[in-house]
Amino acid sequence: MSEYKTDNMRLNEFENALLAMDKMAIKHLLMNNNDAVSPMQQIEKMIVPVLERIGNGWEAGKVSLSQVYMSGRLCEEAVDAILPREAPSRVSTPPMAIAVLEDYHLLGMRIVYSVLRASGFNLQNYGRCDIDEMVSFIKRDGIKVMMVSVLMLPSAIQVSELTHKLKAAGCKTRVIVGGAPFRFDDMLWQEVGADAMGYSAADAVGLIHRFAKENQA
């Protein structure tokens, strides 16, 4: 029981440090976590669960969106320090990317990108794209998993055109969607031909793991 309390206290301290944007405390907690024998274990035992907590806090109205965003950015910086971008220990996944389709609000996408990077994944960030640009990037980079973020309903509906164009181009790309329209209508992702929908950045981590396993099968 005491070991559980120690682990839980460490997670609480790390969560508080992130929400307070205390870089010194964040570095101290990561560098002095003696239970983690590798950088990836540090990520899996501390960073991922705490980012999930913070995301759940936002869903419950207890954490601001800016705190979610900054927590993701701070963890991304920390991971890049202990696990360089090209480190062989980074999570092995098929080529993947993230982008905003037609919208001008990039914050939601940036949060998911930071959480995935902080979870040890490598992925392309295409920023804001229209459909033809996204299809072109996917073909150029051989993307197998494409995460699409939207804010407005018209952009969500355009995912249907994206999935049709990808099929027409012969791309066997899994499309994961997220954003307000898909949370309001939990069947919309199927109607536009997406392969999955994530409610949160934590959902994205689970979906990427699932698709990576399927790709290896």
Do 47 and 150 sit in the same domain of this protein?
no
Do 64 and 154 sit in the same domain of this protein?
no
Q: Is residue 171 part of a domain?
A: yes
Helix (H) or strand (E) holding 215: helix 201-216
The full length of the chain comes to: 217
- Domain interval for residue 131: 96-216
Do 121 and 178 sit in the same domain of this protein?
yes
Do 184 and 107 sit in the same domain of this protein?
yes
**Angle, CA 98 vertex, CA 94 and CA 103 arms, to 5°:** 160
Distance separating alpha carbons of residues 134 and 81, to the nearest angstrom: 30
Do 53 and 109 sit in the same domain of this protein?
no
- Please identify, among 30, 54, 82, the residue that sits at the C-terminal boundary of a domain: 82
Q: Is residue 59 part of a domain?
A: yes
| pLDDT score for 205 | 80
Nearest CA-CA partner of 202 in 115, 118, 72: 115
Mean pLDDT of 96-113: 83
Do 116 and 158 sit in the same domain of this protein?
yes
- Which one-letter amino acid corresponds to residue 66? S
Helix (H) or strand (E) holding 150: strand 145-150
Q: Is residue 89 part of a domain?
A: no
Listed in sequence order, the residues at least 6 apart from 11 whose beta carbon sits closer than 8 Å to its beta carbon are 46, 49, 50, 53
Q: Is residue 90 part of a domain?
A: no
Total of domains in the chain: 2
List the beta bridge partners of residue 150: 179
Cβ proximity of 173 and 143 under 8 Å: yes
| pLDDT score for 15 | 92
- Please identify, among 54, 82, 110, the residue that sits at the C-terminal boundary of a domain: 82
| pLDDT score for 119 | 76
Q: Is residue 87 part of a domain?
A: no
Q: Is residue 9 part of a domain?
A: yes
Q: Is residue 122 part of a domain?
A: yes
Do 112 and 203 sit in the same domain of this protein?
yes
The burial of 170, by beta-carbon neighbours within 10 Å (0-12 exposed, 13-18 middle, 19 or more buried), is given as exposed
Choose between 92 and 174: higher pLDDT: 174
Distance separating alpha carbons of residues 145 and 122, to the nearest angstrom: 12
Do 151 and 184 sit in the same domain of this protein?
yes
Q: What is the CATH number of the domain that holds 55?
A: 1.10.1240.10
Please give the biggest Cα pair distance in the chain. Answer: 58
Q: Where are the alpha helices (DSSP H) in 36-141?
A: 39-42, 48-59, 65-82, 107-118, 131-141
Q: Is residue 107 part of a domain?
A: yes
Do 49 and 14 sit in the same domain of this protein?
yes
Mean pLDDT of 145-171: 93
Mean pLDDT of the chain: 83
Distances (CA, A) of 38 to 12, 45, 59, 76, 196: 21, 11, 31, 17, 32
What is the pTM for the complete model shown? 0.69
pLDDT digits (tens, 9 = 90+) for 124-143: 999 999 999 999 999 999 99
